[in-house]
Amino acid sequence: MKVTLKAARINAGFTQSEAASRLEVSKDSISNWERGKTYPDIPVLKRIEKLYGVDYKDIIFCQ
C-alpha cells in the first residue's frame, strides 16, 4: 500500500521534531522531504524504513 512520507510518520506516532531527532536530521529536512522539495539519501532512507515500518517502495515523497 502506498503512503505519503507524512502519513507514514504520523502512522508511526512521531512528530516532525521526534522523527528528526531519531533520524539524526533537522526538522527542516523532514519538512522538505514531506513536501517533495528534497529527498533523503540512501542511508537515511534505510533509517526511515526502520523507524516508520514501511518499505521505501511504498513511500510517496510529496504531500
Across 20-46, average pLDDT: 96
Residue 44: C-alpha distances to residues 1, 10, 18, 22, 56 (Å) = 21, 18, 15, 11, 11
The grid coordinates of residue 32 equal: 522538505
What is the C-alpha separation between 20 and 44, in angstroms, rounded? 11
pLDDT surpassing 90 at residue 63: no
What is the C-alpha separation between 15 and 27, in angstroms, rounded? 9
For residue range 13-32, list pLDDT tens digits in order: 999 999 999 999 999 999 99
> Could you tell me what percent of the chain has a pLDDT over 70?
98
What is the C-alpha separation between 60 and 21, in angstroms, rounded? 22
- Identify the structural domains of the chain with CATH numbers, from first to last: 3-60 (1.10.260.40)
Helix, coil or strand: residue 20: helix
